[in-house]
Chains A and B, each alone.
Chain A
Amino acid sequence: MRGLGAAVVLASWAWAQAPTERLFNARVDPEQGRKLWSANCAVCHGAEGKGGRGPDLTTGKFRHGGTDDDLYRALRNGIPGTEMPGFPLTGVESMQLLAFVRALGRAAMPPPPEGDAARGRALFAGGQCTSCHRVDGTGSRIGPELSDVGARLPPSDLLASLLRPDERVQPANWYVRVVTRDGRTITGRRLNEDTYSVQLIDAQDRLVSLVKQDLKEYQLIKKSPMPSYEGKLTREQLGDLVAYLASLKGTL
């Protein structure tokens, strides 16, 4: 009974407290995404996304911005000057639909050859990756920690992150770029923010807290500071890197 009671509390929706529908962190169900696609999008973009009245969405390229944030806005508000209307979907539904649209784009992305995790590890350690990312206690903390990334993301998402890093940036990885009144520019990953202040970690792993009143400029960056490795790494190197990242399952 106690368990049931807890479930009832979690399911609550009424006046004082609502459970959190964490938009960008929502657990995504691709099957739901397909249903939403069929009901809302297929009529213009085609059942398989190849286009029709609306453009082909299987190329992985989006004319009006391809980040989750861009797509979410387009879905919610429509695209001015086009026939694309806004859709009254909830946050979670939007994310499910976006996941499906992403999957359409992935189909156009040829998978890299099966890689070698040991070579990938060397590439990771020898390249610039550790200047932002941390794995098993080594590397900077400014970027997302990757020690368990293989447990969190499938290889196709790992590859997509390397080729199109702006597509999906979790709010916990959003960046802040500020200019202080005395002219210093500080960039870092946002750790917390409220009406009057912002907390971040900078490229030197320093924990920085800034009062907004003391800033000349304040910018929240929802894109990734990581470059795309499309064309910069060979297909074999990409395969090795994905194999290495997929092998990182965390220690817990």
Chain B
Amino acid sequence: MKPAMAAVVWLSCWMPLGAQVTYDRLLHADKEPQNWLTYAGSYKSWRYSTLDQIRIGNARKLELKWIYQLNAIDKFEATPLVVDGVMYFTQPPSDVIAVDGKTGRAFWTYRYPLAGNVSVCCGRVNRGLAILGDLVFLAALDGNLVALDAKTGKEVWKTRVVDPSLGYSLTMAPLVVKDKVILGPAGGEFGIRGFLAAFDARTGKEVWRFNTTPGPGEAGHETWAGDAWQHGGAPVWLTGSYDPELNLIVQGVGNPSPDWNATVRPGDNLYASSVIAVDADTGKLKWHYQFVPHDAWDWDAIQTPVMVDAEWQGQPRKLLYWANRNGVFYVLDRTNGKFLSGKPFVKVTWLAGFDENGRPKLQPNSLPTAEGTLVYPGVQGGTNWYAPSYSPRTGLFYLSVWADYYSVYQEGEAEYVPGRRFNGGNIRQPLAFGRNATLLPDEEQGYGALKAINPKTGDMVWQVKFADLTEGGVLTTAGDVVFTGNREGYFHAFDARDGKLLWKVSLGGYIAAGPVTYSVDGKQYVAVAAGHGMFVFGLRE
């Protein structure tokens, strides 16, 4: 039997007849731009599409094609998936809806029976789904991983991943690699113990687990004092990326708990506020880089890892681009985690440079105190989980930023009580956060913007400032259009080269999700979650 044939037989052992989304399709997601098969568009997580029907010259002809109105009150942060004309998205907290990509008419709705004992720091949100074969995977807020039949929305299996009564929750879109579903928990504000785990896509059985706060006998345990690792946070609440050549899952890890009282957890607190690279089959750690050793500011490394193969100082290299919540844009070598460069993209006052290993040097008087320490960037970060984008056509990295604002970080009591908040202090900041534009922040206090960065230098190439802050994800296309939304409810198309506004529409609701593009019957669409609706645009005919 030829090897290719053997693979087909092996796959057919567990994939139902006519299984749609094979692993091979996920692996080559960029070859089928009519679809959007993973949270960030492909394993490289560029959020870039080769579709070019909508381009600089005609973006002004975009018009509304359909809206799907949610039946929800919680914030809509979901990135949809699109598979062969069918769009799948989550309705917060944890429902799943399948609709026709051309008309927005629903095929089915799955209503998840949410438990009542979930504690979340920041909203009952969900950021999206994963798909493999005929199964759609949902990480439900109250701690269950659920596999649904993609054709009917019926539950196929359900696995308890974490216990919500201890402050754990699930908010991320899972990542499917080979035959496994990869995810981790949120709950850093409740003193959880973070991990990244893989579950068998057929059965929901856990296959491996990597603890992001290592226990006795695990490498990195020595970076924690006493039993602080047991409630050390390091949550995993945003989808990672996968490098098939290296067979590595590259994953960002959240901040250590308690957030602002770092005194009770001496040491570097690995693998909090780090990027980790683990073997996709075993979960074994291959390398790590810690952006903020002994993080005392809540600067989760919860960002999308963007993988680019490019020249670095004359040598072709496998790079990792990373705009961190701590305000610094990093370039790492993703074969070994080596630090190549780090440059602030907003005002940063905590950093005094890097040593020869890329470990950051702290400015004096940056750590939180009982009286409070003023540090830039503020607690929401220079950026956050907001999906960035990389366009190979412009070579630029695009992201939403909160620029040039501070917080006063105050250390306080930190007593761990199961299921309770475990912040260890307080945050005070001058920015008037608000959805109401009459309370816009003064620009002097900081501002929100879409920024384009040259990853080779870390320098800003252009930016578009908004009147309010922005949490919008970013999409780029081969039409050299950048799409993003903001808190004001505007959805924009900009020229990817210079940031010139090509088109905009007011959707009347907060945009805090990543847009996607897809095509059906040869027509390109752009979709974005705004307010409590999924809005889809295409060119006027």
Where the two chains meet, the residues of A that have a C-beta atom closer than 8 Å to any C-beta of B are 5, 8-9, 11-23, 25, 73, 76, 88-94, 171-172, 190-196
In the complex where A15-B122, A18-B379, A18-B380 touch, is A194 in contact with B437 (Cβ < 8 A)? yes
B501 to chain A: closest residue by CB = A196
Interface residue total, chain B, C-beta cutoff 8 A: 48
26 CB < 8 A contacts A-B:
A5-B119, A12-B121, A13-B423, A14-B259, A14-B379, A14-B423, A15-B121, A15-B385, A16-B75, A16-B122, A16-B125, A16-B512, A17-B123, A17-B433, A21-B430, A90-B408, A90-B429, A92-B428, A94-B430, A172-B438, A190-B438, A191-B438, A192-B438, A193-B437, A193-B467, A194-B468
Instruction: Report if B427 contacts A (CB, 8 A).
Output: yes
Residue B134, interface by CB 8 Å: no
Shortest beta-carbon distance, A8 to chain B, in Å?
6
Report the 4 A-B pairs with minimum CB-CB distance, sorted nearest first.
A90-B428, A16-B122, A88-B374, A14-B121
Of chain A, the residue at the smallest CB distance from B77 is: A16
A249 to B412, CA, bound (A): 41
Which of B77, B123, B471 has the largest number of chain A CB atoms within 10 A?
A: B123
How many pairs of residues, A versus B, come closer than 8 Å at their CB atoms? 111
Contacts of A18 in B (CB 8 A): 379-380, 427, 429, 433
**CA of A12 to CA of B488, assembled, Å:** 22
State the CA gap A90–B440 with chains docked (Å).
17
CA distance A83 to B486 in the complex (A): 41
Q: How far is the CB of A199 from chain B (nearest CB, A)?
A: 9
Selected from A15, A20, A21, the residue in CB contact (under 8 A) with B428 is: A21
B466 within 8 A of A: yes
How distant is A230 from chain B, measured CB to nearest CB, in Å?
29
Q: Is the CB of B490 within 8 A of A20?
A: no
Q: Are B504 and A196 touching (Cβ within 8 A)?
A: yes
Q: Which residues of A contact B379 (CB under 8 A)?
A: 13-14, 18
Q: Which B486-536 residues sit within 8 Å CB-CB of chain A?
A: 486, 488, 490, 504, 512
B191 within 8 A of A: no
Contacting residue for B123 out of A16, A90, A94, A194, CB 8 A: A16
What 1/0 flags go to B413-447 for Cβ under 8 Å of A? 00000000101001111111110111110001000
Q: Interface readout for B459-478 with A: 1 if CB under 8 Å, 0 if not?
A: 00000011110010000000
Which B186-205 residues have C-beta < 8 A from chain A?
A: 188-189
| From B121, B380, B384, B434, contact of A22 by CB (8 A) | B434
Q: 4 more A-B contacts (CB under 8 A) besides A12-B121, A192-B436, A192-B437?
A: A21-B430, A21-B431, A190-B438, A194-B488
- Do A196 and B372 contact each other (CB < 8 Å), given the known contacts A13-B379, A18-B379? no
Q: Which residues of B contact A194 (CB under 8 A)?
A: 437, 467-468, 488, 490
Residues of B within 8 A of A14 (CB): 121-122, 188-189, 259, 298, 379, 423
Q: Which residue of A lies closest to B486 (CB)?
A: A195
- Cβ-closest chain A residue relative to B384: A15
Q: In the complex the two chains form, is B432's CB within 8 Å of A23's CB? A: yes
* Distance from A194 Cβ to chain B, minimum over Cβ atoms (Å): 4
Known contacts A12-B122, A15-B384, A195 near B438 by CB under 8 Å: no
- Does B300 belong to the interface (CB within 8 Å)? yes
Chain A residues with CB under 8 A of B488: 194-195
Q: Is B302 an interface residue (CB 8 A)?
A: yes
B385 in contact with A16 (CB, 8 Å): yes
Task: Name which residue of chain A comes closest to B408, CB basis.
Answer: A90
Name the residue of chain B whose CB is nearest to the CB of A5: B119
Q: How far is the CA of A21 from the CA of B467 in the complex (A)?
A: 18
Given contacts A5-B119, A15-B384, contact A88 B437 (CB under 8 A): no
Tell me the minimal C-beta distance from B325 to chain A in angstroms: 8
State which of A12, A19, A172 has its C-beta within 8 Å of the C-beta of B189: A12
Residues of B within 8 A of A89 (CB): 408
Q: How far is the CB of B445 from chain A (nearest CB, A)?
A: 8
**Which residues from chain B contact A73 at a C-beta distance below 8 Å?**
444
Q: Which residues of A contact B372 (CB under 8 A)?
A: 88, 90
Report the Cα distance A187→B90, complex, angstroms: 45
Find out whether the CB atom of B433 lies under 8 angstroms from the CB atom of A19: yes
Chain B residue with Cβ nearest A69: B442
Contacts of B466 in A (CB 8 A): 195
A93-B428 in contact given A14-B259, A20-B433, A194-B468 (Cβ < 8 Å): yes
Contacts of A76 in B (CB 8 A): 430
